[in-house]
Amino acid sequence: MGDGGSQFLGYTLGVLAVLLTQEVNPVLSPALPLLLLGLPIADILAVFAQRIYHKMNWFRASKNHIHHRLLELGFHHYESVIVVYSVQALLVLCAVIMPYAADASLLLIYLVVVSMVFAFLYLAECRGWRLRAKHEESLLNEVVVSAAHSSGLLAIPFGIVFYGISAFLVAGAMGSTSIPVDFTLAATGLLVLLVLRLVMWSRIWYFPLRLLAYVTVVFVVYLFNTYQPVQLSGIDPFTYVYFGALVVAIALSIRLKDVGDFKVTPMDYLVALMVIGIAVLVKDGAVDSRLMAIALKTIILFYGCEIILNRMETRWNIFTLSVLASLLIISMRGALLNFL
């Protein structure tokens, strides 16, 4: 980002934190921003303290931030970022679940968490502890890369994504208890376009198969969530198990596609934290649970569809047939429910 980008983000976060506690909801604890922005504040204060102690220029770049110190202890780049994410996520979680706690309680939590981080760094540096040699691979990479040489293992997660999404599209179209008129008409139009796209593959390339598949996914998810059977309303263990397995299969399909490119990235971890955060907000009633469920399911299925479409070798396969079948089912059931 450079100095300009980091200063802009820091200033924006600071202003938003002040607005949150002073204007949006003044009842919130004034110490709350300390948890929301806590680790970067502690990090820069520790850096300034070290620069003063070593008689360095306060504003000259140095390698004594938490990230750099973790690298010196043998952590890989992505591992050090994940450690920073984890600590900050813990502080934010405390802020979310204790928004009206006493200032002294929030300050104590902040000091305990930050002190543990810097105590670990100090003791590890003093005792010469190292997680691993600088160019040594992490255990997770070694395990996954060695296991990925099995062709059967590579096919399993993709098969779960391929057949799982295909089955969901058909089951979702059949399981919806009601289909509005506008969805019926739209599905009929999409069905005609998809048939033309599959039959006249090279002549009407301007009807993108990806777009037709994505719109069908949105239709099925919305209908199945909005007009779902009574037995699936409320807490549905099957839905959690299905989408949980699908997320794992999608992640493995992406990571194992090319063994040489396997990396555990901080973005993967950050996405997982975001999903957990959304679940917490839904549980607390801060976000509409139905709309959030539709959004999360749609995003997961979009990832899966992208994997399938990128590896698709022929236009006529179980996935395209399932998209075709789901549109046909929505059209026919909608016509029966609305016009007959």
Cβ atoms 228, 173 nearer than 8 A? no
* Close Cβ partners of 21 (under 8 Å, ≥ 6 residues apart): 28, 29, 30, 32, 33
pLDDT of residue 261: 42
Low-confidence ranges of the chain (pLDDT < 50): 259-262
Q: For residue 178, what are its two tokens?
A: 């009601």
- Dihedral, CA of residue 315, residue 317, residue 320 and residue 321, to nearest 10: 130
Which residue's structure tokens are 């016509």? 335
Round to the nearest angstrom and report the end-to-end CA distance of the chain: 61
| pLDDT for the residue numbered 326 | 96
Joined together, the tokens standing for residue 119 give: 């105590």
81-90 contacts at long range (C-beta below 8 A, 24 or more positions apart): 81/266, 82/266, 82/269, 84/39, 85/266, 85/269, 85/270, 85/273, 87/39, 87/113, 87/117, 88/38, 88/39, 88/40, 89/273
Q: How far is CA 184 from CA 39, 131, 328, 329, in A?
A: 52, 59, 10, 10
232-286 per-position pLDDT tens digit: 665 567 777 888 889 888 888 876 665 444 455 676 677 667 766 766 666 666 5
Q: Return the residue matching tokens 């999404």.
A: 165
pLDDT in tens, 215-237: 999 999 999 888 877 666 655 67
Return the pLDDT at 240: 78
Which residue do the tokens 């994504």 mark? 161
In the numeric block, which tokens belong to residue 91? 């502080």
pLDDT for res 56? 85
Given a contact cutoff of 8 angstroms between Cβ atoms, the answer to whether 263 and 78 are in contact is yes
- Angle, helices 237-256 vs 151-175, to 10°: value is 140
Number of Cα atoms under 13 Å in the Cβ half of residue 246: 26
What pLDDT does 202 receive? 59
Q: What is the pLDDT of residue 253?
A: 82
Dihedral angle at the C-alpha atoms of 289, 292, 296, 297, nearest 10 degrees? Answer: 60
C-beta separation of 47 from 62 below 8 A:
yes
pLDDT of residue 259: 41
pTM of the model: 0.58
DSSP assignment, residue 227?
Answer: T
Here the tokens at position 286 are 């801060």
Residue 56: which H helix or E strand, with range?
A: none
Dihedral (C-alpha) 46, 48, 54, 59: value to the nearest 10 degrees? 150
